[in-house]
Structure 1
Amino acid sequence: MTSGRPRGQISVETTEPYVLRLPATVGPGDVPGLCAGLAALMDRADPGSLLVCDAGGLARPTLAAVEALARLRLTALRRGRALTVRGAGAELRALLALTGLAALLGPPGPDGEPGTEFGPPGN
């Protein structure tokens, strides 16, 4: 199932919370554009505003999606920002666990969904 957007196209919301939506499929070539999209979003967002990466639209999580989340985290951390992930399905969480990157999603959130936030320690 696809989202109707061309492959690799990202979607952003420029009101709080500021949301970067992952496309239905993420390939290795999409990672730089996703990071650039997050950087542009952070440029528009107030310093204390919530940044969200919505992974709910991923049709089939792959290792490229795992790489994208890791790189997005680094992009946010380099600017001292926290990035919350929402919509991480069971397959994506399993891939993160398999690659040893489950900690990227952090501890369970108040909704009980395992790992929803990553950002600077203590945020």
Structure 2
Amino acid sequence: MAVSRLPDLALAGPLRRGDVPHLCEQVRTACARAPARDVVCDLAAVTTADLATVDVLARMQLAARRAGSGLRLRDPSPALWALLQLVGLPGLGGLVVEMERQTEQREIAGRVQEAVESGDPAL
């Protein structure tokens, strides 16, 4: 079992455009501490899923790219994850999104569980 490292940044509450200078400075500081390594940003406590939040994250990603690193977003809410996918942010310029969740009962960790109904047509 791989152990994920601690996040460099843990964001909480709503993210607004006024947060950009401070958060980008934190990203640059994290990049300076460990060059050429993704900056891990925990989003589990972020309460907003709107375009202002996406703008903040995109600017943080740009700051990381300019510092020679990438940005790794950990555990965004389902709504924020859907919005990030809608605007096409994951996969661009070093942005990686990690979805963390608990393994369901009787589910084998890391595997997809499929069920077939007897009346399902063959594909």
**TM-score greater than 0.5 by the shorter chain:** yes
Partner residue, 2:22? 33
Partner residue, 1:21? 10
The structure having more radius of gyration, on CA atoms, is 2
Q: Distance in 1 between matches of 2:76 and 2:111?
A: 13
In structure 2, the gaps of 5 or more residues are 101-109, 113-123
The answer on whether the counterparts of 1:66 and 1:96 sit within 8 Å (CA) in structure 2 is yes
Q: Distance in 2 between matches of 1:37 and 1:85?
A: 14
Q: Distance in 1 between matches of 2:21 and 2:111?
A: 31
Q: Distance in 1 between matches of 2:27 and 2:97?
A: 19
| Structure 1 residue 57, shift from structure 2 partner | 0.9
Partner SS state of residue 23, structure 1: strand
TM-score by length of 2: 0.63
The answer on whether the counterparts of 2:20 and 2:59 sit within 8 Å (CA) in structure 1 is yes
Partner residue, 1:93? 81
Q: Distance in 1 between matches of 2:52 and 2:89?
A: 13
1:81 maps to 2:69: yes
Q: Distance in 1 between matches of 2:88 and 2:30?
A: 28
In structure 1, the gaps of 5 or more residues are 1-15, 113-123
Q: Distance in 2 between matches of 1:93 and 1:34?
A: 20
| Structure 1 residue 54, shift from structure 2 partner | 0.9
1:60-79 alignment runs, 5 A limit = 60-79=48-67
Q: CA RMSD in A?
A: 2.9
Partner residue, 1:47? 35
